Every structure is written in C-alpha cells, then in structure tokens.
C-alpha cells in the first residue's frame, strides 16, 4: 500500500455533509457534528474480494482497504480475527436455534474489542507524526492504548474515572503508561480530556483521532460476515457505551453489500445497556429520536457507564432503521448473563458481555428476536478484567486435606 493513493478521500460531517481534509480533527466547524471518514468505493472495489481477503493473514488488516490509514500498518498488526463460536448449548438454554458468540474477549493484545480501534488510531497518529497518544476511558480503551503505545514506542497518557475496577487500572499501569485517575464520572473525564486536548499537542484517540479510531470497529462486523460463510446474520446484539460500535457494525455490513462481498440481508441490529445507565435504550423504548443523558450512572457495568453517549443519536437511528430494539438488564441479570455465557459456552466475559446476554435473553423471551433466526452476540471484553462483579456470587472452592478418603466423602456428598 505504500506510496499508493489513499483509498479514503477525507472527512465528511455526518450532520451537514461539509467536507474536510483527512487531518487530526473530529468536529465539524460549521455545526459541531461528528466527522466521518469518506472512502473512494470505486477505487476500493477492484482491490478487495472474498478471495483476496482469504489470501491474507488472519487479523483485521485483511480488510485494510476499508480502514483509514495511508501507509503500512505500524501498530497492532496482529489485532482481530477473533473466533466466532457456535454456541449450541447456550442456544438450547435460551430456546433459540442458531446462536453465535463473536468473542472479542480474546482479542490481541489486551482482550477487548478496543484493540481494533487503537490499532487504527495509533497507526494514523504515527502517520500524522505524533509522539504522544492519550485517551479518556472506562478501562478497556486505556488498556489498549497503553499496551499498543508501549509496543510502538509512543508516550501515552490514559485518563480514567478513579473508581474503575482494579484489574482495569493494573491492566494499564503495567505497560508503563501515565495513568491519571479522575475523581468523577466518565463523562467528566471526557470533558476534561477535551480541554486537555485543546492545550496539549497529543493524539487523543477518542477525540482528535476519533474519525479514524471509530472505523476500526467495522472490522468486527466484517469478520462476523466472513466467519458466517460470507453472509449476514438475522440478528446482532451489541453493547453500547458511547454508541459507536453499533453504528460501525451496520456500516461494515452496508459496505460489504455495496462492494458485492455479501448479499444484502435485513439484519436486525439490537443494542444493550445496563439498567442504571441506559440513555440510548430508554430512548428506543420510548420511541424518541434523541436521548436524555444520565448524570450519575450507577451500575456494575463500568465499561458501559457513559451517561452522555456521543453516538447515542446515531445508535437510536441504527436500531430503528434495522428493525432492532434495545434492552437494559439490571445488575442481577448482568451477573446471570456472565454465568450463562461461561457455563453454557465456555466464554468468560466482562460485565458488558453479561449485559449483552441479559439483553438478548429479554428480547428472546419477549418475542422480539425470533428463536428460529440466526443471532450473533458481540462479546467485547474479558471477564478477568471485572472479577469483582462475581464476588460472592459463585460457590467457593471445596477445601480438603490431601486425602483420598476426604475426596471420596466429598464426591459422595456432591453426587448424592
């Protein structure tokens, strides 16, 4: 790809369609709308096909023509192509015929889907010549920025709410990054970062790199389509925090259809948020086209605790346009979701995954998801990052002396 003409033309405002050069900017100067990467699909079409994609290494850069970098991949070249697991036992438990788990909890290197967006954002940051990268994060993004920056030799600052799960904090500090805990909600962290970004010449992956960063999420959708045998599912259930991923899953399917890589198919795209921080789901349920922000999110699902979701408006549109719906399980249902996924599919997810399972369960029970249709659950982060959610919820391990007799007694009691 080196020295070739870039396959994206520039940035375009999602609100007023004003066009900009592909610079490190994220907001339309005319109307404050978010900027989106605009591709040259005519130039891309002859360069990408099922055969070409399949001839490439199993990582998300097999779709590189549809990701917004200009030169070679310099950060995160092994990210993506996580397993799409057919979960027959969980399907039976939930009373559906065909259920798949898109398991980004084993993404490389930091066990969440954020590795996808960070790989694009940091490669692009290097193209712009930045030496310092930063982010506001509920945990997973910070982990990925810290790890990928360390590998790439970039300085990094990650800003997080100070009450995050210890596993998520440690999962950033270990990489030698600057972890800054802010006493406040994620939305307050974001606000501060916007102001810091105005003062310091850094690549903030979710601020001035956002148009490029957000495109990385599309790879999750491309992989789902490819791994289903080049077809689109009937239903996808996606967790929503800022609401970007759900819109990018739709964009990925639309692009594959536009390029003739898959046949058009009406996929219902559903969103999941936890009960005490569900501004987007609430708007969908109430039939509103805009959400009311949540001032103080109070949920065990910290990775989805964004009260003022930047892409909330477009998430609502995505669900409405695709015939999808939204659900907001409570903390108990989230824990039940984590356990169902673990006990029936062998996948240990963080609380966001429990939210997805809990939301899917509600929609199946309410008849909003037809049990005879294919369903994909997007699992976006690993369970070891949010262990405390399960504290006291699992039976403690049995403790016995190193004695066969004691074990036999225990076994007899358990099988009685």
Residues found near other proteins in the complex (CB under 8 A): 15, 25-34, 114, 135-138, 140-141, 184, 186-188, 190-191, 193-195, 197-199, 206-207, 210, 213-214, 241-242, 244, 290, 292-293, 295, 303-304, 306, 308, 310-311, 313
Nearer to other proteins, 59 or 308 (CB): 308
Nearer to other proteins, 62 or 102 (CB): 102
Residue 24 three-state SS: coil
CB of 310 to other proteins, least distance (A): 4
DSSP 265: -
Both tokens of residue 30?
């005319």
Nearer to other proteins, 10 or 184 (CB): 184
Return d(Cα 116, Cα 122) in angstroms, integer. 10
CB of 251 to other proteins, least distance (A): 14
Return d(Cα 153, Cα 177) in angstroms, integer. 11
Phi-psi region of 10 (alpha: psi -120 to 50; beta: other; left: phi over 0): left
Both tokens of residue 118?
């960070």
Contact 109, 147 (CB under 8 A): yes
A 10 A CB-CB count for 236 gives 29
Nearer to other proteins, 286 or 295 (CB): 295
> What φ, ψ does residue 36 adopt, rounded to 5°?
-130, 145
- Kindly list the distances between the CA atom of residue 268 and the CA atoms of 6, 96, 316, in Å, as whole numbers in the listed order: 33, 16, 13
Nearer to other proteins, 204 or 256 (CB): 204
Nearer to other proteins, 116 or 126 (CB): 116
Nearer to other proteins, 119 or 374 (CB): 119
CB of 95 to other proteins, least distance (A): 31
> What φ, ψ does residue 159 adopt, rounded to 5°?
-110, 125
Phi-psi region of 80 (alpha: psi -120 to 50; beta: other; left: phi over 0): left
CB of 191 to other proteins, least distance (A): 6
CB of 368 to other proteins, least distance (A): 25
Both tokens of residue 397?
């391990």
The residues near 407 (Cβ < 8 Å, ≥ 6 apart) are 400
CB of 153 to other proteins, least distance (A): 24
CB of 194 to other proteins, least distance (A): 5
Nearer to other proteins, 28 or 269 (CB): 28
Cis check: omega of the bond before 367, within 30 degrees of 0: no
Give the H/E segment covering residue 13: strand 8-13
Nearer to other proteins, 56 or 292 (CB): 292
Return d(Cα 145, Cα 219) in angstroms, integer. 18
Residue 56 three-state SS: coil
Nearer to other proteins, 119 or 303 (CB): 303
Strand partners, 156: 133
Return d(Cα 197, Cα 204) in angstroms, integer. 7
CB of 26 to other proteins, least distance (A): 7
CB of 288 to other proteins, least distance (A): 12
CB of 184 to other proteins, least distance (A): 8
């Amino acid at each position: 790809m080196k020295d070739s003409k870039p396959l994206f033309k520039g940035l375009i405002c999602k609100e007023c369609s004003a066009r900009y050069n592909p610079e490190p900017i994220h907001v339309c100067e005319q109307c404050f709308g978010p900027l989106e990467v605009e591709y040259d699909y005519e130039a891309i079409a002859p360069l990408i096909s099922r055969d070409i994609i399949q001839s490439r290494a199993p990582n998300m850069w097999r779709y590189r023509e549809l990701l917004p970098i200009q030169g070679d991949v310099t950060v995160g070249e092994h990210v993506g192509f996580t397993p799409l697991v057919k979960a027959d036992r969980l399907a039976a438990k939930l009373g559906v015929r065909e259920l798949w788990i898109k398991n980004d909890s084993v993404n490389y290197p930091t066990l969440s889907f954020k590795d996808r967006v960070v790989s694009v954002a940091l490669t692009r940051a290097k193209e712009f010549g930045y030496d310092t990268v930063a982010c506001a994060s509920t945990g997973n993004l910070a982990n990925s920025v810290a790890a990928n920056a360390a590998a790439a030799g970039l300085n990094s600052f990650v800003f997080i709410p100070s009450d995050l799960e210890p596993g998520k904090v440690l999962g950033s500090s270990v990489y030698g990054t600057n972890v800054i805990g802010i006493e406040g909600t994620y939305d307050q962290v974001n606000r501060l970062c916007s102001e810091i970004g105005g003062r310091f010449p850094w690549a903030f992956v979710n601020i001035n790199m956002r148009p490029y960063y957000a495109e990385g999420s599309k790879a999750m959708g491309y992989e789902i389509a490819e791994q289903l045998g080049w077809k689109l599912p009937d239903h996808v259930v996606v967790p929503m925090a800022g609401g970007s991923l759900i819109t990018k899953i739709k964009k990925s399917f639309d692009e594959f259809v536009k390029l003739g890589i898959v046949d058009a198919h009406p996929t219902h795209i559903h969103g999941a948020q936890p009960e005490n921080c569900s501004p987007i789901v609430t708007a969908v349920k109430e039939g509103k086209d805009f959400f009311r922000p949540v001032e103080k999110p109070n949920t065990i699902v910290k990775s989805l605790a964004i009260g003022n979701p930047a892409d909330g408006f477009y998430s609502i549109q995505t669900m409405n346009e695709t015939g999808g719906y939204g659900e907001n399980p409570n903390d108990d249902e989230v824990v039940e979701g984590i356990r169902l996924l673990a006990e029936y599919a062998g996948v240990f997810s963080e609380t966001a995954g429990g939210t997805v399972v809990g939301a899917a369960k509600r929609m199946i029970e309410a008849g909003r998801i037809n049990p005879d249709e294919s369903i994909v659950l997007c699992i976006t982060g690993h369970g070891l990052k949010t262990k405390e959610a399960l504290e006291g919820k699992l039976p403690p391990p049995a403790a016995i002396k190193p004695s066969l007799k004691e074990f036999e007694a225990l076994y007899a009691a358990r099988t009685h």
